[in-house]
Chain A
């Protein structure tokens, strides 16, 4: 296990080797308003590894994930993916990742299956494969039994499971997960562990912001500790 500690003086790897499917973050600065939340952050995630982001509330875990997927504009620094520089807002990069925020992104007036089918349209899955992809994703997330219920009638834990089904919908190598195990029971937790392990075995990479133990073997897990900088 590599433990990156965010100290603002992490040595910069001048000639970082060009590795296949490595996500690198170089000298990242993020501000909220005029206040810098993170500055000079460096880390890298290799395929088959899960980076668990730790840090107190307000230390910038969510901000970091939202910047990685291009929802937030960055105030400095760069990202590299597969050895080349990448713009997080570019469609090419966004097709490579799935981001799940705190709350499962579901439309309450649509059924679970309809929600997933819409997500499949957005991900560009062709019409003929859509139904199959949706039912496979539901099976994988163990959510098939409430496929036809309206999303707003689900419990928090069930919604979480549907969110996991969204993860399985289209194969994207980068998973960005914000608090993926809240509201889940022990079987749900085991499911998350299984899904992440499967993803890592397919040489995907995961960045998860959570303090809970994801139950991953330590050889697949790295840690990034965000701590608010002393002035």
Chain B
């Protein structure tokens, strides 16, 4: 099969242009969704009958936690594409994912701790989800450290791609084992973070927030990919035209 169209589509100048055009299409809806979801979540939604106002942390915590895992998947997919089809833009995309993913993981940890204070009476409890997030943070840090540890860009790209794929295979096993570990050592937890049913006026802002965060990730990602492509192609003539 002829893949030239595929590579032409993924050529750095083309990606740079397309990413630039697409960014506002993600950024504006993301901003609108997040602002309106914040208003709905913080003011319109009723307080939780058990947790009171504290539950509102979910509107930041849950989307960050969801994104932190999803971004790892996106990163590993981009890395695999780069490795298999030797596509440099895919490696650039994987490289720009890592820092965003690590940030969301960090945010989910911090908000989880802040939420834990009123719920458990202490900032840190070895809750399975928090523990798994902590391990995920280390996976991201390892990926970024490996990338920065190798001087040659091509080698850094491919070695970290292998690591991302190893990580994505391990992630479900780590999550499962941590939950298993927790279920053995603790009595069934009284406090479930999410209850099976949630009234609509609580749920709607959450869904809006999830969508908003995902769109925001896409926008940030596009901006970062553009920057990464520029950095990598800094010798090329098209970059000189763009910059001047």
**B89 to nearest A CB, angstroms?**
14
Listed in ascending order, the chain A residues whose CB lies under 8 Å from chain B are: 31-35, 73
Name which of B153, B154, B233, B235 has the most chain A CB atoms within 10 A of its CB.
Answer: B154
- Scan residues 211-244 of chain B and give those whose CB is less than 8 A from a CB of chain A: 232-233, 235
Please give the distance in Å from A38's CB to the nearest CB on chain B: 15
B152 within 8 A of A: yes
Distance to closest chain A CB from B45 (angstroms): 51
9 contacts between A and B (CB under 8 A): A31-B154, A32-B152, A33-B153, A33-B154, A34-B153, A34-B232, A34-B233, A34-B235, A73-B154
Q: Which residue of A lies closest to B235 (CB)?
A: A34
Q: What 4 additional pairs, Cβ within 8 angstroms, besides A31-B154, A33-B153, A33-B154?
A: A32-B152, A34-B153, A34-B235, A35-B235
Nearest A residue to B232 by beta-carbon distance?
A34
Residues of chain B contacted by A33 (CB below 8 angstroms): 152-154
A34 CA to B154 CA, complexed, in Å: 8
Docked Cα-Cα span, A73 to B155, in Å, equals 10
Min CB gap A31→B, angstroms: 7
Q: Mark B191-216, 1 if CB is under 8 A from A, else 0.
A: 00000000000000000000000000
Q: Tell me the nearest residue of chain A to B151, going by C-beta.
A: A33
A67 CB → nearest B CB, Å: 13
Q: Which residues on the B side are within 8 Å of A73 (C-beta)?
A: 154
Which residues of the other chain, B, contact A35 by a CB distance below 8 angstroms? 235
Nearest B-chain residue to A31, judged by Cβ = B154
List the A side residues contacting B235 at CB < 8 Å. Answer: 34-35
Q: Smallest Cβ distance from B154 to chain A, in angstroms?
A: 7
Contact with A along B78-117 (1 / 0, CB 8 A): 0000000000000000000000000000000000000000
Smallest CB-CB A-B distances: 8 pairs: A33-B153, A33-B152, A34-B235, A33-B154, A34-B153, A34-B232, A32-B152, A31-B154
Q: How far is the CA of A34 from the CA of B233 in the complex (A)?
A: 8
Taking CB atoms, residues of chain A closer than 8 Å to B232 are 34
Interchain CA distance A137-B153 in the complex, whole Å? 41
In the assembled complex, the CB of A76 is this many whole angstroms from the nearest CB of chain B, namely 11
B234, closest chain A residue (CB): A34
CB distance from B162 to the nearest CB of A (A): 14
Query: Please, how many angstroms separate the alpha-carbon atoms of A32 and B235 in the complex?
Result: 14
A31 to B88, CA, bound (A): 13
Q: How far is the CA of A78 from the CA of B56 in the complex (A)?
A: 61
Chain A residues contacting B154 (CB-CB under 8 Å) are: 31, 33, 73
